[in-house]
Amino acid sequence: MSKVLIVDDEKIIRIGLKMMIPWEQHGFELIGAAEDGEAAMALVEQYTPDIVITDLKMPRLNGLELIQKLKEAQFFSGKIIAISNYGEFDLVREAMKLGAIDYLLKVTLKPENLLDSMNNAANQLLSEKKKQELERQKEVAQIENLMLARTNFFKDLVYFSNMSESEVDRQAQKLNIQIDPKRNFLLLITIDEYVQTMNSGKWTQKHLLAFAISNIISEMVDVSFVMEFSEISERDYMVVLPDRNKYESATGKLQFANRIAKLLKLYLNLGVNVVISPSFASLQQVREAYRSCKEAVELRFYKHDAIVIQVGDAVFDGKKHMQHEQDNLLEHIQSGNKEAYLGCFDDMYEKAKQGRVPPAQFKKAISAVLDSCEAFNAESEHPLLPEQVREQLSRGDNLAEVREAFVQAVSYFSQNAIPVSSKYRKEIRAIIAYMLKHIDQKITLQMMASVVNMNESYLTRLFKKETGKTIVNFLNELRLEKGRELLKNPDLSIKEIAELVGIPDPFYFNRLFNKTYGLNPTDFKKNNLKSINRP
Counting the structural domains of the chain, the total is 3
Same domain as 165, residue 126: no
Q: How far apart are the first and last CA of the chain?
A: 37
Q: What is the pTM of this model?
A: 0.60
Return the number of other C-beta atoms located less than 10 Å from residue 357's C-beta: 25
- Rounded CA separation 40/66 (Å): 8
- Rounded CA separation 165/375 (Å): 48
| Position 378 confidence tier, pLDDT thresholds 50, 70, 90 | low
SS3 content of the chain, % helix, strand, coil (to 5): 60, 10, 30
pLDDT digits (tens, 9 = 90+) for 457-486: 999 999 998 888 899 999 998 899 888 888
The CA-based angle 139-122-60, given to 5 degrees, is 105
What integer pLDDT is reported at residue 417 of this predicted model? 63
**The domain that contains 71 carries what CATH number?**
3.40.50.2300
Please state the three-class secondary structure of 110-171 as a single string: CHHHHHHHHHHHHHHHHHHHHHHHHHHHHHHHHHHHHHHHHHHHHHHHHHCCCCCHHHHHHH
DSSP state of 280: B
Same domain as 301, residue 192: yes
pLDDT average, residue stretch 47-57: 94
What integer pLDDT is reported at residue 103 of this predicted model? 92
Same domain as 167, residue 281: yes
Domain holding 250, by residue range, is 160-313
Q: Would you say residue 373 lies in a domain?
A: no
What integer pLDDT is reported at residue 533 of this predicted model? 47
What integer pLDDT is reported at residue 122 of this predicted model? 95
pLDDT average, residue stretch 13-19: 93
Helix, strand, or coil here: 453?
Answer: coil
- Rounded CA separation 240/248 (Å): 13
Same domain as 182, residue 124: no
Amino acid code (one letter) for 387: E
**The domain that contains 535 carries what CATH number?**
1.10.10.60
Same domain as 235, residue 120: no
Q: What are phi and psi of 28, to 5 degrees?
A: -125, 145
